[in-house]
Chains A and B, each alone.
Chain A
């Protein structure tokens, strides 16, 4: 089955810095790659996604890049703010389900 590896597990940045979270996947048949943000005690929420026919997608301060040849995709957050502090999960779509990475705890210090 699909295996998704996510790094780093924890990331601490200063407000205004950029943050990058990286994921790799194993199944070349995966075609859809969403990213979720989960604040403490709350539900994961979809923040951005990318499909395999696109190499990069941006939404304001958030961008995702995909390299299908290398089977990796990344989340980029620019001009980080304290409210960006949360756990971020990447996922890969394989046939009927999403396989999630183990998450990255992002801490943004004022």
Chain B
């Protein structure tokens, strides 16, 4: 069953902690994306990757980091520099980077405690 899997579904972060959100896909897609969703804000792009070992900043990259060591995996780290990390995080993948619809994961809800 092909798809894109995000884990965990819920994550709680203490002040000053770094946390890592997992995203794995078995669709053989080249491109992967991280979006942040806040109420009334739509989906805002954090980072994206077109190929292994390469990634680009999106509109709201400050306080986040990513890696793309394998085609299937694109983890997102929310660092302590991100001052307002409470949000719903969505990972997506696409066959290529131009004019393709995304397949989304089921999301991770991150809450600061």
Residues of A participating in the B interface, judged by any CB pair closer than 8 Å:
1, 6, 9, 31-32, 34, 36, 42-46, 49, 51, 89, 93, 95-103
Interface residues on B, range: 20 to 34
Contact with A along B13-51 (1 / 0, CB 8 A): 000000000000000000101010000111111001010
Label chain A's interface by main secondary structure: strand
Distance from B61 Cβ to chain A, minimum over Cβ atoms (Å): 13
Selected contact of B101 from candidates A43, A46, A96, A97, CB within 8 Å: A46
Contact partners of B90 in chain A: CB under 8 A: 43-44
Q: Is the C-beta of B97 less than 8 angstroms from some C-beta in chain A? A: yes
Q: Is the CB of A43 within 8 A of B105?
A: yes
Q: Is the CB of B48 within 8 A of A97?
A: yes
Q: Is the CB of B101 within 8 A of A49?
A: yes
Contact with A along B75-113 (1 / 0, CB 8 A): 000000000000000100000011111111111000000
Chain A residue with Cβ nearest B49: A96
Contact partners of A46 in chain B: CB under 8 A: 101-103
Q: Is the CB of A43 within 8 A of B99?
A: no
Known contacts A43-B107, A44-B104, A96-B50, A32 near B41 by CB under 8 Å: no
Distance from A98 Cβ to chain B, minimum over Cβ atoms (Å): 6
